[in-house]
Amino acid sequence: MTELIRLLTRAQKLLRTASDDAMSRHGVRVGQNLVLEVLWETDGLTPGELASRLHVTTPTVVNTATRMESAGLLVRRRDPADGRLVRLYLTPKAQAARQPIEEARRRLAEHATATLTDDERRHMRSALEKIIKRMTESPPDLGDA
């Protein structure tokens, strides 16, 4: 089964690279795009909220947010009700980039999966869901050591 995982890793890397290339044409890197996708739907989230939705750590979001702030894509604002919280708000520049970026992402996904049959899509989806469920719920049993 290690071969299956090798294929999964390779495919994901190719997709990530292609995505980064596509996003770069719109002045956004691949990691920043993930932040945008969430904030386009729900603006004004905190770094911690964003981190849990993206399945990354808070420091990762903080660093990405800092780069995005330098790039003029978002602004930080302290929460008036709770001084520990910072809220991230998209700028008009980030709002304006929404349509072309979403379109580019959609096109890339269509392109990558264009040759798959319905059976392949269906079974790949259920297989991936099972793997995710397994990895999040069941202890991977890391031998002795």
Partner DNA sequence: TACGAATCGTTTGCATGCTAATGACTCTGT
Partner DNA sequence: ACAGAGTCATTAGCATGCAAACGATTCGTA
Could you give phi then psi for residue 55, rounded to 5 degrees?
60, 40
Give 6 or 78: the residue with its C-beta nearer to a second copy: 6
Binding partner at 99 among a second copy, DNA, none, C-beta below 5 to 8 Å by kind: none
Tell me the C-alpha to C-alpha distance, in Å, between residue 26 and each of 62, 103, 106, 112.
22, 11, 14, 20
The H-assigned helical ranges of 25-145 are: 30-41, 47-54, 58-70, 92-96, 98-112, 118-137
Footprint of DNA (CB under 7 A)? 17, 29-32, 34, 46-49, 51, 55-60, 62-67, 76, 82-86
Name the minimum Å distance from CB 108 to DNA.
Answer: 16
Give 119 or 140: the residue with its C-beta nearer to DNA: 140
Q: Nearest 10 degrees: CA dihedral of 116, 118, 124, 127?
A: -170
For the segment 9-28, give every residue that binds a second copy (CB under 8 A): 9-16, 18, 21-22, 25-26
Could you give phi then psi for residue 143, rounded to 5 degrees?
35, -155
| 4 near a second copy (CB under 8 A) | yes
Residues that bind a second copy (CB under 8 A): 1-5, 7-16, 18, 21-22, 25-26, 55, 100, 103-116, 119-136, 138, 140-143, 145
